């Protein structure tokens, strides 16, 4: 999976509620049918946190199991909405070109 795709899928899953890495990957598996590799998942989490699109849930990082629960930020929601709207436009155009009803 391309790194920007991985980031979009992670954001999509986090838009549904805060999760830690393993739970994010489980939700991705339910959504797409396969889990991300560790390099793709944690690379995407690093990029999204560096860009301020996700953030750790305060106080959770010190938990005994050392799992960081992450949540989407307002900037993350805005970015995800823009990406999904663009994707929807492309999907509609593609379906129209194929003669299918985009509905």
Partner 1 sequence: MSAPALIVALYPPAVRERWGDEIGREIAERGARSWPDAIGGAARLWLHPSDWPETAAGQTRRVLAVALFAVTGTDALLLRAAEPATGRWLGLILAGALLAAPRPPSRALRAVAAAAIRTLAAPATAGLALLLLANSGLVDHPAGPARVLLVAAYWAALTFITLRVWALTARIVRMGTAPSRRRLRAALLLVGAGTALAAGQSLLGGALLIAAALLLSAVAALHAGQDLHGR
Residues that bind partner 1 (CB under 8 A): 3, 20-22, 25, 37-43, 45-47, 49-50, 61, 66-68
Closest CB to partner 1 among residues 61, 88: 61
Selection from 25, 9, 80 nearest residue 51 by Cα: 80
At residue 76, φ and ψ (nearest 5 deg) are -65, -40
Least separation in angstroms between CB 15 and partner 1: 20
Q: How far is residue 72's CA from residue 37's CA, in Å, rounded to a whole number?
A: 21
Q: How far is residue 88's CA from residue 102's CA, in Å, rounded to a whole number?
A: 10
Closest CB to partner 1 among residues 5, 85: 5
Least separation in angstroms between CB 57 and partner 1: 13
**CB-hemisphere CA count at 13 Å for 76?**
28
Closest CB to partner 1 among residues 63, 102: 63
Closest CB to partner 1 among residues 61, 90: 61
Least separation in angstroms between CB 8 and partner 1: 15
């Amino acid at each position: 999976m391309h790194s920007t795709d991985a980031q979009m899928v992670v954001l999509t899953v986090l838009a549904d509620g805060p999760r830690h890495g393993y739970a994010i990957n489980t939700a991705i598996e339910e959504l797409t049918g396969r889990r991300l590799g560790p390099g793709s998942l944690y690379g995407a989490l690093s990029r999204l946190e560096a860009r301020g699109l996700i953030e750790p849930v305060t106080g959770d990082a010190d938990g005994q199991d050392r799992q960081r629960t992450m949540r989407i930020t307002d900037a993350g929601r805005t970015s995800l909405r823009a990406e999904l709207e663009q994707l929807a436009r492309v999907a509609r155009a593609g379906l129209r070109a194929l003669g299918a009803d985009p509905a």
